[in-house]
Amino acid sequence: MSSGSTPRTIRLDLAYDGTGFRGWAAQRDPAIRTVQGELTGALERILRQEVRLVVAGRTDAGVHAAGQVTSFVTGSGLAPERIAAALNGALAPEVVIRRATVAPDGFDARRWAIERAYRYAIGVAPLPDPFTARFTWHRPGAPALGPMRAAARTLVGEHDFTSFCRHPGPGRSTVRELRRISVRRSGDLLELRFAADAFLHQMVRALVGTLVAVGDGKLDPGDVARILRARDRSGAPPIAPPHGLTLEHVRYGRRPQRKLSARNTGPSSTSAAP
């Protein structure tokens, strides 16, 4: 393995089953398993140098990823495909590197992202499916899709989502552009999909919990607009559990996303809400 080469930025596209992890972000206690901690440790053993990972979306405990993206700078000359093969040998099938590439100069997995998309899966059959239970919230009985879709339409656009997140703290914006929501049922599976420029902590799970309450008849679609305007988390229903949530994909532009910087967001601003 060579070292001392011209620094390169390596992009990793990866998937993981979040069941056994306390989320993406490494913790101070090394005994706490995180995706970042496991991936960083494996990379540092392979490259024999310190690695700092930047991630597109900091998923929390129990949340999964099908299209996560992380990047790091290294002076190692090891080919990306060899890095991927070595990581998969150490971490698969729990964490799988789907692709490793040399990224353009200055690439940053978080700042260059222009859209994140999440999928939430709900099983509505009378009994849970043991083959999908780790990735699906089992709720027997189907919510009404028409009212859920009507409520979803009131959420699309740029809004202050204080009512649907764990507040990031003083000085950090809770305004996001929620670009798309879809609510679809196929057989015994109900899928809710969300796409936005970025998501706040627990935002997706809070939105799912609220839309399900509408589908169950506990709220009217108009109530959701009222909850949004109130900017008060206590006025919204409980959040959905983490294991139904998956980060599906991240879309990139050719330059850093200045909109996020203008909102004074930090690394946690792209966190999925487990």
Tell me the DSSP string of 40-101. HHHHHHHHSS----EES----TT-EEEEEEEEEEE-----HHHHHHHHHHHHTTTEEEEEEE
- Which amino acid is it at 91? L
Token look-up 């090394």 returns: 30
Determine whether 60 is an active site residue.
yes
Quick check: 217 and 148 in contact, CB under 8 A?
no
Spatial separation of the C-alpha atoms in residues 112 and 250, rounded to whole Å = 10
Check 13, 17, 29, 60 and give the catalytic one: 60
Quick check: 47 and 40 in contact, CB under 8 A?
no
Enumerate the active-site residues.
60
